[in-house]
Amino acid sequence: MAVHDTAQIENATLGTVEIREYVTIHDADIDDGVQIYERASIKKATIHGPTDVNANTYIENATVGESVQIGPNASIVGVTHDLTDTGMEFQNDTFDEIVIENGAFVGAGAVVLPGVTVGENAVVGAGTTVAEDVPPETVVRSATETVRRSL
């Protein structure tokens, strides 16, 4: 296990992992073989290994499968606020877990919204915002374009 001395780990279980500079991990379970790169933040999540979480990534309220790659600056955020007739409820979080299944790839700068499942071996292209489930073996390249992968 290699955890950089600038990392902040609170209430987390870590396997044999590599955690780089200025990473924060709170209320999470991180399995063997996970690599977490600089300035990533992980909260209320389970990450199975082996998996790579690239620099500046934010993950909250998510389960991440094995052999997943998450690109830099991605946001996987399973927390939101209810919208009422009067607007968003201030400081009243609503949690809707995100699942990233085995072998999936989430590209650089992608955003996966609450309640979404990214299927096994699916690809979320760089810069894509995902508001609906992504079926297994599918490539999502933009908010309006989905392509079935051929294996």
Gap between the Cα atoms of 96 and 89, Å rounded: 16
The answer to whether the CB of 17 falls within 8 A of the CB of 32 is: yes
Gap between the Cα atoms of 60 and 42, Å rounded: 6
Catalytic option among 4, 26, 48, 81: 81
Omega prior to 136 cis, within 30 of 0 = no
Tokens 């296990």 identify what position?
Answer: 1
Catalytic residue at 4?
no
Gap between the Cα atoms of 106 and 42, Å rounded: 15
18: left (phi over 0), alpha (psi -120 to 50) or beta: beta
Gap between the Cα atoms of 94 and 89, Å rounded: 10
Sign of the dihedral defined by the CA atoms of residues 31, 53, 150, 125, in that order = positive
Please list the active-site residues: 81
